[in-house]
Amino acid sequence: MAPMIYTLYGFAIFFFIFWCGMWLLHLIAIVYGKYRLHKKIIPEPTDEPYPGVSILKPLMGVDPHLVSNLETFFTLNYPMYEILFCIEDEKDPAIDVVNALIEKYPKVSTSVFVGGSLVGVNPKINNMNKAYEASSYDLILISDSGIRMKEDTLLDMVNHMTEKTGLIHQMPFTCDRNGFAATLEKIYFGTAQSRIYLCADFVRVNCHTGMSTLMRKAVLEEHGGLKTFGCYLAEDFFIAKCFIDRGWKIGISSHPALQNSGLCDVNSFQARLTRWAKLRLAMVPLVIIFEPLTECMVIGACAAWAFSLLFLWEPLVFYLVHILVWFLCDWILLSIVQNGTLPFNKFDFIIGWLFRECSAPYLFLLAVLDPTIKWRNRVFKLAWGGVAQELKPRIKC
C-alpha cells in the first residue's frame, strides 16, 4: 500500500509543478508579446544600403484571396527585392494570376519558374528549388501563397536581421475574416500557438514555422542549399535547426504573419492541426507525453486532482476557477497579438475558445493513432527524426 501512496503523491507533485509552469508560460507570453510585437523600428542612419531580398512564392491553384494576397508583395515599401514565383504544374491557373500582376506592376522585378525539380519528398522544396538556385540576393524570404503582407513588413524583418542573426520568421496569425472557422483560427493562433511561440522565442528554443521566413542564403549554401531539406516534410524546423547548430541566432519579427487563405472551414483547419501534431510526434517523441498536458482542460483536470490530494481542495471549484483564469489570460494575449479591435464579440470568443480547447485532446489522439500524413492529394509516412517517405509516389516520366 505504501508504494502506491508514494506513487500517487509523486504524480500529484508532478502535475502541481507542471501546472505552475504553464502559468509561467502565460505570464511570459503576455509580457513578452507586449514588448516584442507591433513595434515600429526607426532605422538608424547608415551609409550602407539595405540588402536585396529574393522572395520565393510557391503556388498551387487559385483561391478567392490569391490575387489580393500576391498583390501586397508588389507594393512592399522596400528598396530592392525580386519576386520568384514557383509553380509546379504548367497548367496551373495561378500562372494567369501571376502574369496579370506582372503586367500591372512592370517595375517590380519578377520571374516565374514552372515545373519544379525532384530533390526529395517535400513538395514545397521541390517546387521552390529552381527559383532558389536562380535567386539574385543574399537574403531569401520564403512566403506561402496564403500570406498577406503590410507595406513595411519586409523592412521590419530585415531590420531584425542583425550581424549575429541568420533567420527571422513571423509568428503565425490570421487576417480578419467572417465566419466561425475564421474565428476559430484566430483564437488558436492568437492564444495556444502564440503562447508557445512567444515563450520559445523568449528562451531561444526552435519553434519555427516556415510560412514566412527571411534567412541568409550563404548559410543554406554551406549546408548544401535548399534541396538538402527535401527529405523532410517539416523542412522549416530543420532549416532553423541548421542555423542554430551553426551558431546563428533566430528570432521573430514584430509583425505577425497574416494568413489569408481562401479555404477557411473547420474540417480543413482541424486536419491542419492534426498534421502538425503528427510532424511534432515524429521529430520530438516526448511530445506524446507532454503536449496534452499543455491544454487547458487536461492540465486543469490533473491539477484539480493533485490539489485535492495534496491540499484537500475542492476539485470541481478548483477546475472551474482554473478554466476561468486561463480564459481571461487567453483573451489578454489575443488582444495583444491582434493589436486592435477583434472582428468578433466576447460571446463568439467564448464559443470558439471552448470549442478549440475541448477538441484539442481529441485531435491529438487522432494524430497518435494515425501517423500517416495527407498533404493535398499525396500521402506520406514519417520515420523517427522527421525523415519522410511518400506512399505511392507519383510516377515521373
10: cell is 509523486
Question: What residues act catalytically?
Answer: 236
Q: Which residues contact 147 (CB under 8 A, 6 or more apart)?
A: 69, 211, 212, 257, 258, 259, 260
Q: What is the 3-state secondary structure (H, E, C) of the chain?
A: CHHHHHHHHHHHHHHHHHHHHHHHHHHHHHHHHHHHCCCCCCCCCCCCCCCCEEEEEEECCCCCCHHHHHHHHHCCCCCCEEEEEEECCCCCCHHHHHHHHHHHCCCCEEEEEECCCCCCCCHHHHHHHHHHHHCCCCEEEEECCCEECCCCHHHHHHHCCCCCEEEEECCEEECCCCCHHHHHHHHHHHCHHHHHHHHHHHHCCCCCCCCEEEEEHHHHHHCCCHHHHHHECCHHHHHHHHHHHCCCEEEECCCCEEECCCCCCHHHHHHHHHHHHHHHHHHCCCHHHHHHHHCHHHHHHHHHHHHHHHCCCCHHHHHHHHHHHHHHHHHHHHHHHHCCCCCCCHHHHHHHHHHHHHHHHHHHHHHHHCCCEEECCEEEEECCCCEEEEECCCCCC
392: cell is 505511392
Neighbours of 7 (CB within 10 A): 10
Phi and psi at residue 58, to the nearest 5°: -75, 130
Cα–Cα distances (Å) from 213 to 28, 230, 324, 365, 367, in that order, read 24, 17, 35, 30, 26
Torsion of CA 211, 212, 213, 217, to 10 degrees: 90
268: cell is 480543413
